[in-house]
Structure 1
Amino acid sequence: MEYGKALRFHRVKQGLTQNQLADGIISAAYLSKIENDQTVPAIEVLELLYERLGIDFNESTLNHPSKEKLKEWYEAIVFKRKDEAKLLRDELLQQKSTLDNHQLYIFYELFRIRYLFLINEVEEAYETWENLKQHKNTLDEEMKFYYQLITGLVKYYKGEYNDAFQELMEAKNYSTSIEIEDWEASDLFYLLALSTSQSNYISPSIYYAEQALEIYQSHYDLSKSADCHIILGINFGRLQNYAKSLENYHLARKIALQINDSLKLKLLYNNLGVLESRLDNHQSSISYYKKSLEYSKDLSSSINLYEFLNTIHGLITEHYKLVDFKGCSHWINEGMKKLSSYPSRQHELHFEFYKMLINDSPNLQEFLEEDVIPYFRERNKYVYIIRYSLFLSDLLEKQRLYKKSTSYLRLAIQLLNKHSNLGGIVL
């Protein structure tokens, strides 16, 4: 056992300084060397330090639930078996030493963050991650793998997709020095595919999705295979390889119908709506968006509500493209109703824009310049910066404000050159 890291863990957990723990036993400088594994102290010294921390030196590494039980819990979390994950968590909490033992506590807290995401306790997951960061210096190689992976997941949930990708790559680097099982490798590849897809790194996303898919198929995991097909469908669509995109979407739909997975069907139909929109098949796009809404029964989670509003936004834009202002107005009202229970500034701006547009509001230019475009620029939402900048450029040109029109056109073109393959929704 690495006694130094365990000592530092318990000291930090109890809010003690090195001087407070070492006082009357050894010097703070010597304790620092122990904690950094620069020296091996006498057993008597360790016993005194453990006694001050209120921990039984002999029991600290014995009589604890096996790591296999923790890994069993983690596997249930990764594969979203909520009921099983809850039962296993309750079992682990009944073992007092789960929280007393350094290694087990770290693994438990890391896995708990992912469990909290699973049950939609997102803010608590963020808080747990922040608290765990103070123990970063006590982690061994295996802990570092899970720490980087979970950190990547946290960044993903925060919408920091490029940072998520970097953290997950760090996890991949650590995975080469430890033994991970096939299901963990496929999970890592899948998360890499997700983060690269959201960062618009198309080739890496396809590569990692195919790596994950190969493992999932070898284990006959239909659900996860469908997830990979959806990511592949999105990325091939971005490459304008629409035949390959549709092939993957249809494979995903076949699986989702077979296993009766309404969540995947909702996501799938939404992405088919996006694809049909890119092909200018607006009626078909509307049909797919409406089909997605048919599967949007559970709106209890913030993620599901956000996706629901995205679909509403898609319906608004497609009706507008068909010059169907009545249909456009209907879906604007539906979206506004939902905003009363789930405020979303992003969607509020979308809905308000189209409302002002179809009503020929004289304040539309000011709204775009002062509210809409600055909001999306601050958050690097490139697809919306491009869309609204192009619209504003046309609006300004009609008013013969050519210099200002050109500036927004230039902004849109610059972003289009850098981010030419935007589109698609992943989960």
Structure 2
Amino acid sequence: MEYGKVLRFHRVKQGLTQNQLAEGIISSAYLSKIENDQTVPAVEVLELLYERLGLDFSDSSYSHPSKEKLKEWYESIVFKRKEDAELLMNELLQQKETLANHHLYIFFELYRIRYLLLENEVEKAYEAWENIRQHKDTFDDEMNFYFHLVSGLMKYYKSKYDDSYQDLIEAKNYSSSLELEDWQQSDLYYLLALSAGQANYISASIFYTGLALEIYQSHYDLAKSADCHIIQGISFSRLRNYSKSLENFDLARKIATQTNNRVQLKLVYINIGVLESRLENHEASISSYKKSLEYVDEKNTALDTFEFLNIIHGLITQHYKLNDEKGCIKWINEGERQLISYPSKPHELHFKIYKFIMTKNEDIQELLENEIIPYFQEKRDHTYTIRYAMFLADLLEKQRMYKKSSSYLRLAIQLLNKHSHLGGGISL
């Protein structure tokens, strides 16, 4: 057992300095060596240090019954069985060993971060992460695996996709020394696929989705298989392999129809709408977006609302591309109506620019230069920075403001060269 790590953990947790813990027992310098596993002290010394911290020296948590209960709790979180997860958490909290024991407490807190994310309590999850991070130098490989996994997941929720992917790669590195069960391995691959896709590492996303899908299919997990096909469909669409993309969306649709998964059906039709738009099949795109609306349930989470606003934005752009002013204005008005109850800055700006276009507002250039493009640049949203920069460049060129037009065109081209997967379909 790593006594040094246990001592350091409980000392920090109790707010004691090395001098305070060591006083009257050993020197603080010797305690430092113990905590850093640079020496093995006499049992009598350890007993005295443990006693001062209120710990049971004979305790060993690596085979503690609560460890299995913790694993059961984590599994219920991963599979999003919210009622089971809540019951198991309360049961664990009633066991004093869960919070008093170094080993068990670390795992409880790491799993609790994921539980909080499941409940969409992102800020609380971040607070728990900040708290547990201070004990990182007491972690073993298994703890480091879960720490990097929940760190990656938390950063994904905060839209820091590149950081998310890097943390999940670290988790994968630690996993090589562990004996993970299939459901843990597929969960890791699935999270890697998600973060890689959002970070625009498209080939990596396809690779990890394939690994996850293989495990899900072997266990006849239809829901997760459909999720994987949706990710593959998005990835192949970005690579402009539209036939492969549609093939995956069709597979996801068939599974979701069989299992009556309305969320997946909504996502399938949203993404087919995006794909049809890239192919300039605007009528078909509108049809798919409207079909997705059939699966929009009463909104009760931030994600539901964001997706609904995305559908409206998609409908606005497709009507605009068809020069359907009436349809465009109809969905702009609907979008603005939804924003009253569910504010979203990016959607507010999307709807605003189309309203300016439809009403021929003369302040459109100022809006693009001073508000819209700076906002999407700050958010590192390259797709919309490119889209609005090219639109502004064209607008300035028509006004014979060639120098300024060239600067925005250059911005768009630089981003396109850096993020080649964003090419195509970038007109407003």
Going from structure 1 to structure 2, the CA distance change for 1:14 and 1:337 (only over 3 Å counts) comes to farther
The equivalent of 2:116 in structure 1 is 116
Deviations 1:337-377 (A, max 9, x none): 22223322111111111111111111100010001101111
The equivalent of 1:415 in structure 2 is 415
Paired positions, count:
424
SS of the residue 1:240 aligns to: coil
Deviation at 1:300, TM superposition (A): 1.7
The equivalent of 2:396 in structure 1 is 396
8 A contact 2:122–2:154 mirrored in 1: no
Deviation at 1:63, TM superposition (A): 9.6
Deviation at 1:418, TM superposition (A): 2.1
The equivalent of 2:224 in structure 1 is 224
- Whole-Å separation in 2 of the counterparts to 1:377 and 1:385: 6
Deviation at 1:264, TM superposition (A): 1.2
The equivalent of 1:182 in structure 2 is 182
- Whole-Å separation in 2 of the counterparts to 1:30 and 1:231: 54
Amino acid at match of 1:337: R
Going from structure 1 to structure 2, the CA distance change for 1:26 and 1:184 (only over 3 Å counts) comes to same
Amino acid at match of 2:129: W
Amino acid at match of 1:339: L
8 A contact 1:386–1:415 mirrored in 2: yes
8 A contact 2:62–2:103 mirrored in 1: no
Deviates more, 1:132-141 or 1:87-96: 87-96
Amino acid at match of 2:55: I
SS of the residue 2:226 aligns to: helix
Deviation at 1:388, TM superposition (A): 0.1
Amino acid at match of 1:296: V
The equivalent of 2:147 in structure 1 is 147
The equivalent of 1:331 in structure 2 is 331
SS of the residue 1:66 aligns to: helix
SS of the residue 1:340 aligns to: helix
Amino acid at match of 2:150: I
Deviations 1:143-176 (A, max 9, x none): 1111111111111111111111111111111111
The equivalent of 1:366 in structure 2 is 366
Deviation at 1:59, TM superposition (A): 4.3
8 A contact 1:320–1:328 mirrored in 2: yes
The equivalent of 2:284 in structure 1 is 284
Deviation at 1:51, TM superposition (A): 2.3
Going from structure 1 to structure 2, the CA distance change for 1:72 and 1:123 (only over 3 Å counts) comes to same
The equivalent of 1:85 in structure 2 is 85
- Whole-Å separation in 2 of the counterparts to 1:143 and 1:409: 48
Amino acid at match of 2:203: S
Going from structure 1 to structure 2, the CA distance change for 1:63 and 1:177 (only over 3 Å counts) comes to closer
Q: Find out whether 1:16 has 2:16 as its counterpart.
A: yes
Q: Find out whether 1:171 has 2:162 as its counterpart.
A: no
- Whole-Å separation in 2 of the counterparts to 1:212 and 1:170: 18
Deviates more, 1:344-353 or 1:381-390: 344-353
The equivalent of 2:386 in structure 1 is 386
The equivalent of 1:206 in structure 2 is 206
- Whole-Å separation in 2 of the counterparts to 1:333 and 1:342: 14
The equivalent of 2:246 in structure 1 is 246
- Whole-Å separation in 2 of the counterparts to 1:346 and 1:16: 47
Amino acid at match of 1:226: A
Q: What CA RMSD, in Å, does the superposition of the two structures yield over aligned residues?
A: 1.7
SS of the residue 2:57 aligns to: coil
Unaligned 5+ residue runs, structure 2? none
Amino acid at match of 1:420: S
The equivalent of 2:45 in structure 1 is 45
The equivalent of 2:297 in structure 1 is 297
Deviates more, 1:102-111 or 1:341-350: 341-350
Q: Which runs of structure 1 show a deviation greater than 4 angstroms over 4 or more consecutive aligned residues?
A: none
8 A contact 2:309–2:347 mirrored in 1: yes
Deviations 1:378-400 (A, max 9, x none): 12100001100110011101111
SS of the residue 1:159 aligns to: coil
8 A contact 1:64–1:97 mirrored in 2: no
Deviates more, 1:249-258 or 1:328-337: 328-337
SS of the residue 1:421 aligns to: helix
The equivalent of 2:340 in structure 1 is 340
Deviation at 1:62, TM superposition (A): 8.9
Amino acid at match of 2:235: N
- Whole-Å separation in 2 of the counterparts to 1:230 and 1:32: 52
SS of the residue 2:380 aligns to: coil
Q: Find out whether 1:7 has 2:7 as its counterpart.
A: yes
- Whole-Å separation in 1 of the counterparts to 2:390 and 2:63: 66
Deviations 1:228-263 (A, max 9, x none): 101110111112111111110010011111111111
Going from structure 1 to structure 2, the CA distance change for 1:324 and 1:147 (only over 3 Å counts) comes to same
Amino acid at match of 1:353: I
Deviation at 1:86, TM superposition (A): 1.6
Deviates more, 1:280-289 or 1:376-385: 280-289
Deviation at 1:290, TM superposition (A): 2.0
The equivalent of 2:71 in structure 1 is 71
Deviation at 1:112, TM superposition (A): 0.9
8 A contact 2:66–2:92 mirrored in 1: no
Unaligned 5+ residue runs, structure 1? none
TM-score (structure 1 length as normaliser): 0.96
Q: Find out whether 1:159 has 2:145 as its counterpart.
A: no
TM-score (structure 2 length as normaliser): 0.95
Amino acid at match of 2:392: L
Amino acid at match of 1:98: T
Deviates more, 1:259-268 or 1:55-64: 55-64
Going from structure 1 to structure 2, the CA distance change for 1:356 and 1:48 (only over 3 Å counts) comes to same
Going from structure 1 to structure 2, the CA distance change for 1:63 and 1:214 (only over 3 Å counts) comes to closer
- Whole-Å separation in 2 of the counterparts to 1:195 and 1:267: 17
8 A contact 2:73–2:88 mirrored in 1: yes
